[in-house]
Amino acid sequence: MTLTPLTQPLPTVFTLPTPLGGELISRVVRPGEAFELKELGLLPRLELSGRSYADLEMIATGAYSPLTGFLGERDYLSVIEHLRLADGTPWSIPITLPVSRENARQYSGRVLLTFGGEAVGTLDVSERYEAHKDFEAREVYRTTDPAHPGVAALNAAGEIYLAGDVTLLEVPRGHFPAHHRTPAEVREVTLARGWRSTVAFQTRNPVHRAHEYLQKVALELVDGLLLHPLVGQTKNDDVPAETRMQSYEVLLGQYYPAGRTLLSVYPAAMRYAGPREAILHALSRRNYGASHFIVGRDHAGVGSYYGSYDAQEIFSAYTPQELGIQILKFEHTFYCQTCGQMVSPRTCPHDASHHLILSGTKVREKLRAGENLPPEFTRPEVAEVLRAAYQLPG
């Protein structure tokens, strides 16, 4: 009888988290299946906004699995009222396609979707219905204040929503082709690297030392980090995506282990829906194959519309089995000058006078003035990228 040496590695088989709904949706036209140009030219045309174009990509590539198209009224109302699709699947933000009342009647059957005048996909219209904007704003954004960027976008959009399945003619790799991966492609990289567990980090800002601290604490628990910055439509005063991507590349190249990190863009538009958007961010990262998701202070928030930890508490609406992704909840972190390191209220005994905390407004003021950001706040290499981008000409 031959014994297997204890040092011999055993064969390992592992799988990534199952996409929401059980399968990863793909509504992207495959090579050889493209529509005839003549057929496309005969269809009514619908020009998409930047947000709707981003939603089209997120649906078609499976990032918004199990959605196969823009929501019908039954799902729309169920998501608003119950944080679930009509069949009970967890979902927090209605993904809808608004059009003006005047134009709504012309859209039936198959519609050609365009962006910047170019054909980008199709919609098979199954339903037209009235948007309940006040109800949607109150429940999704927790306010009807028109100063809220999400509410402002809602109010500016059309009054009628179109529903139906979509197709995407081609995945738009945009300004970051080397980092633009579909959920299926991210999953392929994760499997190839042998990561049994992956933590995803959502950001629309440059990564400062507090973010770095959270990511590296999480990396002590899992195999890999998916740094997944949102590069879709954001507020005008947010740091531009091009600048942020430069800062991420500099940071990851010098301060993170290359084999345990993956920088890949998240092409969704920002809604600033706070707690509701935190759920959407987590569920979509499950579709990208992540097993863990970081939710910190005021995730996806804006102004003072949400409580500091509302985005963590809202996850209690679902069971862990329903979520299918583990939520890592972190308190606010900052540099304590007395402790001499990054800390949180859980680990630091000192009051606010000992802490170095810079608001986004203060950071932008320093950058425009050509001032250096403190190394305790952000890495010098990242600060230099930001300072160069914010220098005013002349």
User: What are the catalytic residues?
Assistant: 204-205
DSSP secondary structure letters along 124-186: EEEEEEE--HHHHIIIIIS---TTSHHHHHHHHS-SEEEEEEEEESS---TT-TTT---HHHH
d(C-alpha 308, C-alpha 294), whole Å? 15
Dump the DSSP string for 202-263. EESS---HHHHHHHHHHHTTSSEEEEEEB-S---TTSPPHHHHHHHHHHHHHHHS-GGGEEE
Task: Tell whether omega for the bond before 206 is within 30 degrees of 0, i.e. cis.
Answer: no
What is the helix (H) or strand (E) element at residue 78, kind and residue range? helix 73-82
CB 186 within 8 A of CB 285: no
Phi first, then psi: what are they for 130, rounded to 5°?
-80, 135
The residue among 331, 272, 276, 296 whose CA lies nearest residue 199 is 296
